[in-house]
Amino acid sequence: MKDQYGRTVDYLRLSVTDLCNYRCRYCMPPEGVEKLPHSSILSLEEYVEIAAAAVGLGITKIRVTGGEPLVRRGIVELCRALRAIPGLRELCLTTNGSQLTALAAPLRDAGVDRLNISLDTLRPERYREITRTGELENVLRGIEAAERAGFENIKLNCVLLGGMNDDEIGDFVRLTAKKPWQVRFIELMPMGVCAAWPPERFLPAQEVLSRVPELRPAGRSGVAQLSRLPGAAGTVGLIEPISCAFCADCTRIRITADGKLKSCLHSDA
Ligand code: SAM
Ligand code: SF4
């Protein structure tokens, strides 16, 4: 599949629920989102049917996301069925990590190839403050469980929140010295609850390179600009949807939990 800009569309994101056990301040209101009626949510069978049709059209990579995908009942069975679609090369999942101590091994067994785990701070108090309901310790244990289950190339997603976590940029980068992870700094997008946040919350991801000048360029991977500390096991990725070194390399389409197809996260169509 090619779009009108000549980009090959080979990556499908499946949102398997709108719901979440967290209430991250930039993503959800304190009361959470209104639950969609059961009848308008895709069934697990419908996801598999849609995904199989998409793979038939040239999709090679699927990412399961949310809301929080691990709160959807039947998620492990869904992943197993998705992975069994002939022609699919990679099945990934993005999670807040809170359920991974229990679910990392079953997900690996079901054939999930890679995990992205969201982590915006390494400080327990601040973690509680940003997520409103989360405990850092659960996620750290979840990451360990993922490693034990055999997940490699783990990516940690850290949304840059000016004045809230940018003083931890160096701590996050240093994690990659020993761990073979990709720590990805993502620019905060002014959507939903954070659309009206003050300008100082929105930091360009290039700020990471100014704060840690030891980082050396290490190419690109999809939409991420990579760099590495000298001799480090892992890499640092910059994801810049706002500064916009992004759209030309975007190859994704999305299916929402109520079964709508979106060609761009920022489009209402
Ligand atoms: N609940 C899962 C999680 O947090 O990983 C999956 C869904 S979440 C919407 C996917 C990613 O989007 C997370 O890494 C989250 O931090 C990020 N995200 C949410 N709102 C964002 C925003 N306004 N700007 C940039 N990234 C955002
Ligand atoms: Fe949003 Fe993910 Fe945080 Fe849930 S864990 S509130 S879906 S960013």
Q: What is the mean pLDDT of residues 109-133?
A: 98
**Whole-number average pLDDT of the chain:** 95
DSSP three-state, residue 251? coil
Each residue of 212-229: pLDDT tens digit?
Answer: 999 999 999 888 999 999
pLDDT band at 246 (very low <50, low <70, confident <90, very high): low
Q: Answer yes or no: is the C-beta of 191 below 6 A from any ligand 1 atom.
A: yes
237 forms beta bridges with 184, 226
226 forms beta bridges with 237
- pLDDT-above-70 percentage for the chain: 99
Tokens standing for residue 226: 């990579």
Each residue of 28-50: pLDDT tens digit?
Answer: 999 998 888 989 999 999 999 99
DSSP three-state, residue 30? coil
d(CA 56, CA 41): 23
Q: Where are the beta strands (DSSP E) in the chain?
A: 11-15, 61-65, 90-95, 114-118, 155-160, 182-187, 216-221, 224-228, 235-239, 252-255, 261-262
| CB-defined site of ligand 2, < 6 Å | 20, 22-24, 27-28, 66-68, 96, 118
Q: Answer yes or no: is the C-beta of 186 below 6 A from any ligand 1 atom.
A: yes
pLDDT at 126: 98
Determine the atom of ligand 2 nearest the C-alpha atom of 94: 2
78, 44 Cβ separation under 8 angstroms: yes
d(CA 51, CA 48): 5
pLDDT band at 6 (very low <50, low <70, confident <90, very high): confident
pLDDT band at 3 (very low <50, low <70, confident <90, very high): confident
The residue type of 234 is G
> Which of 159, 161, 187, 256 is the pocket-test mutation for ligand 1 (most atoms within 8 Å of CB)?
159
How far, in Å, from the CA of 28 to the mean position of ligand 1? 10
Task: Give the ranges where the chain is alpha helix by DSSP (H).
Answer: 44-56, 75-83, 100-109, 124-131, 136-148, 169-178, 207-211
Q: Kindly report the backbone phi and psi dihedral angles of residue 91, in degrees, each rounded to the nearest multiple of 5, phi listed first.
A: -120, 120
Cα 266 vs. chain centroid, distance in angstroms? 16
Q: What is the maximum span of the chain, computed from C-alpha positions, in angstroms? A: 53
Burial of 64 (0-12, 13-18, 19+ CB in 10 A): buried
Nearest ligand by distance to the CA of 30 = 2
Q: What pTM was computed for the model?
A: 0.96
Determine the atom of ligand 2 nearest the C-alpha atom of 159: 8
DSSP three-state, residue 144? helix
How far, in Å, from the CA of 213 to the mean position of ligand 2? 31
CA dihedral (197, 94, 72, 131) positive or negative = negative
Each residue of 196-214: pLDDT tens digit?
Answer: 999 999 999 999 999 999 9
